[in-house]
Structures are given as C-alpha cells and as structure tokens.
Amino acid sequence: MFKELDPILHSQLRLAVMSLLISVKEAEFTFIREQTNATAGNLSVQVQKLKDAGYIDVAKQFKDNYPQTTCKITPKGIEAFEAYVKALQQYLQVGKG
C-alpha cells in the first residue's frame, strides 16, 4: 500500500520552506523569500498554513523598529518531513520495480 503523501508538504512552496528550515536552526522571513523567489504575500499564506499544522514556529519581533519574522521547524515538522521523504522513496522504489 502506498502511503498518502502529506498534502501540507506536497506543495512546491511549502516543501521549499520546510527543506530550508530542516537544515538550519532558524531563518528570517527575508532569507526564505530570497531563497525561494516567492512573493511576500504568497509566502505569508504558506508560512501561516505550516504554522497552523504545527510544523513550524513563527516568532514576530521588532529589530531596530522594523518588524522581523523568524521561522523555525518544530519536532512535529521534522517528523512530518521525514515521513514525507520516506513516502517519496517508496514511490520511487515501486517505480523502478
């Protein structure tokens, strides 16, 4: 049986955000936007979805009077990401066979 691919992660931008966050301690919204080439509006919506799913923590604070948003992956997010990668591998193996 195929494992269902997690619909929250199986989306281009959300998967990109999670892949960036999996290998760093934390990243600012600006950094994620630069690396994914996404628009601020679209990225905000997707970040909110990941936050609602409990996959990332989002901290908003002020740095020199400018609002700054920092994102960090949660243990639940790491688990979901690993499960997603495992499911992908399963698909690939079946594809080969």
Q: What are the residues binding another protein (CB under 8 A)?
A: 10-16, 19-20, 22-28, 30-31, 34-39, 42, 45-46, 63-64, 85, 88, 91-92, 95
Q: How far apart are CA 93 and CA 60, in angstroms?
A: 42
User: 54 or 68: whose CB is closer to another protein?
Assistant: 68
**Residue 52: CB minimum distance to another protein, A:** 14
> Exposure of 53 by Cβ count < 10 A (0-12 exposed, 13-18 middle, 19+ buried)?
middle
Distance in angstroms between the alpha carbons of the first and the last residue of the chain: 15
Q: Show the tokens assigned to 68.
A: 């700054």
**Residue 76: CB minimum distance to another protein, A:** 18
**Residue 89: CB minimum distance to another protein, A:** 8
